Amino acid sequence: CLTIFGAHAGEILKKVASSDNQKLKELVVIGLVCIGIALIWNLHFPIFKRMWTSSFIMLTSGLAFLSLGLFYLVIDMLKFQKWAFFFVVVGMNSLTIYMI
């Protein structure tokens, strides 16, 4: 499920017709909705990491959407990019980093 949410986030960022503000708004809204669903769902189905419950998936997905929105704002919209170079290198060579 997290992979599907990640693919959806990628589709949001790839939209050519959307402006940067629309993309950011969509990421934040989806993140808040996922967290809200997780907290409501927690009343009947606890957020429990060891079992990877669906409420845990919704909570972590919501936090991931909000984090991605924050990084999108800082790196792509506000252009604070120098500090992120390390993550670009690791991301482009993830298999090599994993093997090391």
**pLDDT of 13 strictly over 90:** yes
40 — pLDDT class (breaks 50, 70, 90): very high
How far apart are the C-alpha atoms of 43 and 29, rounded to whole Å? 22
Q: Which two tokens stand for residue 33?
A: 């909705």
pLDDT of residue 33: 98
pLDDT digits (tens, 9 = 90+) for 44-91: 989 888 888 999 999 999 999 999 999 999 999 999 988 988 888 887
Amino acid present at 7: A
Average pLDDT, the chain: 92
pLDDT at 5 over 90: yes
Local confidence band at 96 (pLDDT 50, 70, 90 cut-offs): confident
DSSP state of 73: I
